[in-house]
Structure 1
Amino acid sequence: MSLIIGLDHVNLLIDAGDDALSRARAFYEGLLGLQPLERPANTDSGRPGAWYQCGVQQLHLATEKDASVVNKASRRHPAFRVADLEALRRKLEFAGIEIIAGNRFPGQERFFVRDPWGNRLEFVERFSS
């Protein structure tokens, strides 16, 4: 039996600054539709951030000086499972978000985007065989 039973949350870094959290709300809540969560005041980093519910998992955002510089050079990413990939693609394209194609794999369709801080995000729709 595995001691690991699932993934609880993913933490992404966004740039520090006065408008970082309002921009995060616009992207993650407004555009992607994630449900905001109350974030404890005593996080380990002590920096501002935001938490979101994402299915049974959570997405955490934390601010850090010049995070976008590191993010834009990285291929690390969370992958979000979606119910209608094409509807999400249209919504993101309408908002001016660049869609980045991913390799095709059996039983799924997917693409990537970069958030306003350069975090690479994958969106996946899986199909029954």
Structure 2
Amino acid sequence: MSLITGLDHVNLLIDSGDDALSRARAFYQELLGLEPLERPANTDSGNPGAWYQCGVQQLHLTTEKDASAVNRRSRRHPAFRVANLEALRKKLESAGVEIIAGNRFPGQERFFVRDPWGNRLEFVERSAS
């Protein structure tokens, strides 16, 4: 029996600054449609941030000085499961977000993007087969 029962949340770093949280809201809430959550004032980092509901999991964003410099070099990423990959692709493209192709795997379609801070994000639609 595994003691791990699932993934609770993923935390991504975004640059600090006066407009960081409004830019995060525009990308993650308005463009991607994630539901904002109440964020406790006493987080471990003490830095401003935002929390979003993503299915049964959560996405946490934390501000940190110069996060983009590290993010843009990294291949680490969360993968978001989506119901209609093509509709999301069109929505992102019309918002000016660059779509990055991923290798093809059986039973799924997928692509990557980088958020405004360089975080790599994967979007996956599983097929029934």
TM interval, shorter chain, is: over 0.9
Q: Does 1:104 align with 2:104?
A: yes
Aligned equivalents of 1:128, 1:37: Cα separation in 2: 32
What TM-score do you get using the length of structure 2 for normalisation?
A: 1.00
Which residue does the alignment assign to 1:114?
Answer: 114
Q: Secondary structure at the match of 1:73?
A: coil
Equivalent residue letter for 1:32: L
The equivalences for 1:1-129 within 5 A come to 1-129=1-129
Percentage of identical aligned residues: 88
Q: Secondary structure at the match of 1:83?
A: coil
* 1:13-65 per-position Cα deviation (integer Å, ceiling 9, x unaligned): 00000000000000000000000000000000000000000000000000000
Runs of 4+ in 1 over 3 A off after TM superposition: none
Equivalent residue letter for 2:66: D
Q: Secondary structure at the match of 1:24?
A: helix
Aligned equivalents of 1:67, 1:56: Cα separation in 2: 27
Aligned equivalents of 1:10, 1:29: Cα separation in 2: 16
* Structure 1 residue 128 displacement after superposition: 1.1
What TM-score do you get using the length of structure 1 for normalisation?
A: 1.00
* Structure 1 residue 11 displacement after superposition: 0.1
Equivalent residue letter for 2:54: C
Unmatched tracts of structure 1, length 5 or more: none
Aligned equivalents of 2:49, 2:29: Cα separation in 1: 14
Unmatched tracts of structure 2, length 5 or more: none
Aligned equivalents of 2:36, 2:45: Cα separation in 1: 19
Q: What is the Cα-based RMSD across aligned positions, in Å? A: 0.2
* 1:45-101 per-position Cα deviation (integer Å, ceiling 9, x unaligned): 000000000000000000000000000000000000000000000000000000000
